[in-house]
Amino acid sequence: MIKLTPRLELCAEMCPACSRAIDVGCDHGYLIIRMVEDGKAERGLACDLRKGPLENAKKNIAQHGLDDRIDTMLTDGLNGIEGGEGDVITICGMGGDLIADIISRAEWVRRASVIAQPMSKQERLREFCLKNGYNITEERLVWEDRRLYVLMRIESGEYKGEDHMLWSAAMEKDALFGDYLEMMAGKYRHIYRGSGNAADSRMLAMLEEKIRCHSTVL
């Protein structure tokens, strides 16, 4: 069985069983290979904007004997891909703005599940969900190389969460939520020291209050 990094391992775990998995920005193709090998996906489609990574993915798919079950496609996001019932889309290692843009350009995504791992601007992705009829049904955290990563399962529905966009209601269930709050509070302390901005002060106060409430619950 192919070995994945902790964040890709969590991504695979969060994916529901599906008829087709579509990995956008597939890089080496390991995630889509793992999903088909595990039986999470009956078949797969590995996509990338760059020829080099896609060729690497093709080689790895062939080495695992899955070239009859996993197709590859050179494309920008989901452009040119037709959706079907039971599709799961994985988009890892991109900024939240870019992930939101990819989702917005394919209306059929409303019939699918998206597992997203934003590297930055995760609040922009949550805001996109709020404004465009998507909900984050699961939001998980994982440590990798001393960095805390966020993964979201995005599906059509009413957004559940507060309007600050720092986390969704789903994230509060994760065991690492306290670590996340401490990390974000540290970030906003640094921002506020440099800006002195009232809005940054309010965000910091909100985070510190949430840390106190979370610690009391635990």
Same domain, yes or no, for 157 and 201?
no
**Nearest residue to 94 via CA among 67, 113, 120, 69:** 120
Q: Looking at the domain assignment, is residue 36 inside a domain?
A: yes
- Considering the domain architecture, whether residues 32 and 128 belong to the same structural domain is answered as yes
Q: Do 206 and 136 belong to one domain?
A: no
- Radius of gyration, CA atoms only, the chain: 18
Residues 42 and 81 in one domain: yes
Identity at 62, one-letter amino acid code = A
- Residues 156 and 179 reside in one and the same domain: no
Yes or no: say if 20 and 29 are a contact pair by the CB < 8 Å rule: no
- Residue 189's pLDDT is what? 92
State the pLDDT at residue 218.
56
Alpha-carbon dihedral sign for residues 3, 48, 19, 17: positive
CA distances from 173 to 128, 210, 213, 218 (A): 22, 14, 14, 12
Write down the pTM of the prediction: 0.93
Q: Are residues 202 and 147 in the same domain?
A: no
- The reply to whether 13 and 119 lie within a common domain is yes
| Regions in the chain scoring below 70 on pLDDT | 217-218
Q: Work out how many domains the chain is built from and give that number.
A: 2
Is 189 found in the same domain as 156? Answer: no
130: containing domain: 6-161
pLDDT of residue 200: 85
Same domain, 140 and 107: yes
Q: Residue 167: inside a domain, yes or no? A: no
- The token pair that represents 24 in the structure block: 């956008």
The predicted-structure confidence for 35-82, as pLDDT tens digits, reads as follows: 999 999 999 999 999 999 999 999 999 999 999 999 999 999 999 999
Q: Of the candidates 139, 161, 183, which is a domain's last residue?
A: 161
pLDDT at 88: 98
Q: Residue 46's domain is classified under what CATH number?
A: 3.40.50.150
Kindly state whether residues 16 and 103 are assigned to the same domain.
yes
Whether the Cβ atoms of residue 81 and residue 91 lie closer than 8 Å to each other? no
